[in-house]
Every structure is written in structure tokens, then in C-alpha cells.
Amino acid sequence: MDLAAPYRTTASVELVGGDLSRFNALPGPLHPPLELAGRYSVRAGVQGSLQPLAGHAAGGFIAVNASAGQARVDRLSFVFSGSQDALRVDQFQASLWGGQAAGKASLSFAPQGPPARRRSSGRD
């Protein structure tokens, strides 16, 4: 950690064999909408600064023999990267209900403002 402005920091985190049911105890809006169970592992690298406040994290997630309510997942994995502006999930793969699911997603946290107004051509 840098003890002078902009107070840059870098960290690495790895948790192996975590218990998903521990998330069921989170309070209020952090409480998951479905009861979670199973085991997971996560690894992430985090970089950022305090002035200005900025951060970036990237890593991977794996859950095995997991469930969310009645939905059972044999294996789920993905890699992620994100900052205060966006979250991106790539290489999403899940084994569930005897089949496979794959995909990717991104979510922007940046304010978008109102939608652009469509200009009339006079023929509307």
C-alpha cells in the first residue's frame, strides 16, 4: 500500500472451499433472495487508489454441488472483471439439470441519462 496520495494499493485474495450457506446470514438488501448451499472457491486480484477513489478487480469463481432454492447446480464457473463503473462476466459455464449452459454478460453502473428523443420527420 502506498501511504502518499493517491494511496495506491494492490491485493490478492483466494478462498478455497467456502460455504455458500454463510451468505444466507447477510442482512437486509444483501440477503440472497433464495437459500444458498454448496461449496465455492474464488480468487481475485484488486488494484485501486483512494484519491481519486478508483478500483479494479479481476478473478475467477467456481461452485460445486450448489443450490439456490430448488435449483441444483453440479458445477458453475466464470471469470470476472469489474470496477466502480462496470462488471463483466466471461467464460460462464454451468452443469445443471443434466445439461450445460454457457455465456457471458456485462453490467454498467454508469448513469445513462434520459433516452435520446426521436426527432420527428414530419411524417409521423
Q: Which three cell numbers stand for residue 46?
A: 484488486
- pTM over the 0.85 mark: no
pLDDT of residue 54: 87
Distance CA 54, CA 6 (A): 10
Say if residues 82 and 57 touch (Cβ distance below 8 Å): yes
Consecutive 10-residue averages of pLDDT for the chain (124 residues) = 77 95 93 94 93 90 94 94 91 90 89 59 52
pLDDT of residue 80: 95
pLDDT of residue 85: 86
Give Cβ neighbours of residue 94 (< 8 Å, ≥ 6 apart).
Answer: 73, 75, 76, 77, 100, 101, 102
